[in-house]
Amino acid sequence: MSAVFAQTEWTTPPDPPEFAAQSEPVFVSGSDIQEYKALPEYHEPDFVKAFVDAGKLPPVAERLPKEPLVFKTPNMPDGMGVYGDTMRHVIGGRPDGWNYIGGATQGWGGIDIGMYECLTRTGPLFQVKADELEPLPNLAKSWEWSEDGHELTMHLIEGAKWSDGEPFGADDVMFYWEDNVLDTNVAPTGGATPESFGEGTTLEKIDDATVKWTFKQAKPTQFLYAMAYGTFCPGPAHILKPQHPKYSENNYDQYKNAFPPEFLNFPVMGAWVPVEYRPDDVIVLRRNPYYWKVDENGNQLPYLNEVSYRLSTWADRDVQTIAGTADFSNLEQPENFVESLRRAAEETAPARLQFGARTIGYTLYPNLSGNGWGEPNELSQAVRELNRNIDFRKAITYAIDRKSLGESLVKGPFTTPYPGGLYAGTSFYDKDSTAFFGYDMEKAKEYLAKAGLEDTDGNGVVNFPSGTAGGQDVQITMLVNADYTTDKSLAEGVLAQMEALGIRVILDTVSGNSLAEYQQGGKYDWAILRNGSDLVSVVQGTAGLAPVGPRTAFSHRAGTDGTLDLMPFEQEMVDTVNKFIASADNAERADLMKTYQQIYTQNLYAIGLTQYPGALLINKRFANIPAGAPIFQFNWAEDNVIRERLYVPADKQTTNELHPNTLPNTPGVGNGPISN
Ligand code: GLA
């Protein structure tokens, strides 16, 4: 690996302040959690049975697949549950439709996680023994590799149905793959691209319950993680396909928006179906009568009849959960930590609060594409050239005072300066491979001059050299998510620190939904972003660790000609990540991640800001919450806690269900839930 500058410039990062996670998982094997088998009998809530008795629904045994997924009792912290009650969520996002695979978002906060099931599942892996780590089967109930490792045959759950009773099968999987992943006009929510599964990978249908993958690499078990949330969660082909541009007159935008939030009872494989939507108010989902998971007694899951999502703000999610008017929050905005801790410590507090490891982190991403991604104007193109200049990136990193940025969010032992790359405290992290550039304004200014930037007009902002962008002020547009207080606080902090350096930053503060569009469209100079699971787990979202494909990385994608203009150090990152994906040798993989971390942090691929822990807030009436469930690791807590298995003991049940005794109606605009 080529060192780009003298090693005296950085140190290893400071050790994070002591902050012990408040509960540890009970580590088990994947096969201790679940299995697939037929049971002698099946049960359902009485009110659902009444639909069957009235001839409005087939008997439960006919609604389930041949071999349902069975959650094993010993792995349920409180054992098998009882039916009833609801889980009230609050979210800061807004839905733009149900077509997840076509690129519509549902508002986050666990709505999509609860609606769309994926071939494999990784959220619950936080409790799986490290040496047995492998994604859990889900829609794919088993798989086997060919002798040479290039083929992977997957067996889907057989005889399972979508929530509207239509059969689920290989056609749904193939529609997702062929017309949504391979069709690059579609940008599936969750970010799947062909490269997420390896260059040259193919998928074919063998029969209704079997599909076969063929990989260029031998036994790339890594891709089993990409088959989990959110990159391989097929949608209902029976209603989506007729709207796809290949099979209709629709354009791609019309396809994406063909199922607006007003379209209710959208067919899902998940545990709950959307039955009510009120703009800026609420989304209500009722139990899926065709859900394909059961407990060992044959009780069809979920135990909870309903889940709802108040459409408010993310900060309000914490406030309401603490107050007991909502049931679930990932306490992830440090601005709310102190008050939440104080309230949760009171004996009468309705919610339990449990801090985990430091897996929430923010990074400043300079747009590294120099060849036209997002069609930059002259000024933006000049900024891109600067972004690609190591002296410029060094100037930025030296000018950032990470300690005060963190303390502006919350004081105390929570935040720690984050150099970028893999997080301290996670399994692939190596401190000695991490380059940290401590705050030093003198050096920052030296590097700015070295990058050719000087304040020629004496207005306090450096100018481009006279031949570039007319020698105007260096002015940088920074994309920021408007939905989170933390994102905005960090952006303000960075803006002020850049001002001190002599760089003008203009904030482009947009809603989460627009942010995704701007980001994927390359319409930004810099962006401040909360990181994904790739930097926590490495095995989840691995293709996002470097620009391994034309559109896998966050901050460097191909221009209009479809090619990437990788700098030599980025090429080294790509090679390292590709080797990681192809390797099954744990020692080699650990070494490769050390190399990755060195290249990332020494070359400042992106600029880390702060890293801190989050806490899981759940109302105390819920049972079966796994010990040590992190708010974010392989996935978000809404997947980690296995919501379909959560229940409320009979003596604690509330009357909070908004549509008691109802089930989803037929899919369509204006169709609410139905009562028997
Ligand atoms: C948002 C929230 C997270 C989590 C995810 C789930 O991003 O900020 O805490 O709820 O949604 O997708």
pLDDT exceeds cutoff 70 at 333: yes
As a whole number of angstroms, the distance between CA 603 and CA 612 comes to: 23
Confidence tier at 3 by pLDDT (50, 70, 90): very low
- What pLDDT, in 10s, does the model give residues 198-212? 999 999 999 999 999
CA angle 265, 269, 271 (to 5 degrees): 80
Report the nearest-CA residue for atom 3 of ligand 1: 109
Q: Which pLDDT does position 7 carry in this prediction?
A: 65
Residue 374 falls in which region: left (phi positive, over 0), alpha (psi -120 to 50) or beta: left
Alpha-carbon gap, residue 150 to 379, rounded angstroms:
47
| Radius of gyration of the CA atoms of the chain, in A | 25
157-200 pLDDT, tens digit each: 999 999 999 999 999 999 999 999 999 999 999 999 999 999 99
3-state class (DSSP) for residue 662: strand
Averaged pLDDT for residues 464-472 = 96
Instruction: Give residue 621 CA to ligand 1 midpoint distance, Å.
Output: 22
Number of Cβ atoms within 10 Å of the Cβ of 377? 9
- pLDDT number for residue 670: 86
Nearest CA to ligand 1 atom 11: 109
Helix count (H) and strand count (E) of the chain?
20, 26
Report which residue type is found at 104: A
632 within ligand 1 shell (Cβ under 6 A) = no
Asked if residue 132 lies in contact with residue 357, where contact means CB atoms within 8 angstroms, the answer is no
Q: How far apart are CA 378 and CA 312, in angstroms?
A: 39
Overall average pLDDT of the 593-610 stretch: 98
Nearest residue CA, atom 9 of ligand 1? Answer: 330
Q: Please answer whether residues 300 and 64 qualify as being in contact, where contact means their C-beta atoms are separated by less than 8 angstroms.
A: yes
- Tell me the percentage of the chain whose pLDDT exceeds 90: 96
The Å distance, Cα 94 to ligand 1 centre, comes to: 12
pLDDT higher for 516 or 68?
68
Q: What is the mean pLDDT of residues 214-219?
A: 95
- Give the distance from CA 477 to its chain's centroid: 25
30 touches ligand 1 (CB under 6 Å):
no
Q: What are phi and psi of 619, to 5 degrees?
A: -55, 140
CA of 108 to the centre of ligand 1 (A): 6
Grade residue 21 by pLDDT with cuts at 50, 70 and 90: confident
Provide, rounded to the nearest whole percent, the portion of the chain with pLDDT above 70. Answer: 99
**7 DSSP 8-state letter:** G
Q: Report the distance separating Cα 316 and Cα 335, nearest Å.
A: 12
Residue 543 CB partners (closer than 8 Å, separation 6+): 193, 195, 196, 226, 549, 552, 577, 581
Strands 69-71 and 293-295: parallel
pLDDT bracket for residue 2 (50, 70, 90): very low
Contact (Cβ atoms closer than 8 angstroms) between residue 510 and residue 479: yes
CA distance 632 to 555: 22
| Ligand 1, pocket-test mutation among 122, 307, 330, most atoms within 8 A of CB | 330
* 310 pLDDT higher than 80: yes
In this prediction, residue 19 carries a pLDDT of 86
Which residues fall within 8 angstroms of residue 346, CB to CB, at 6 or more apart? none
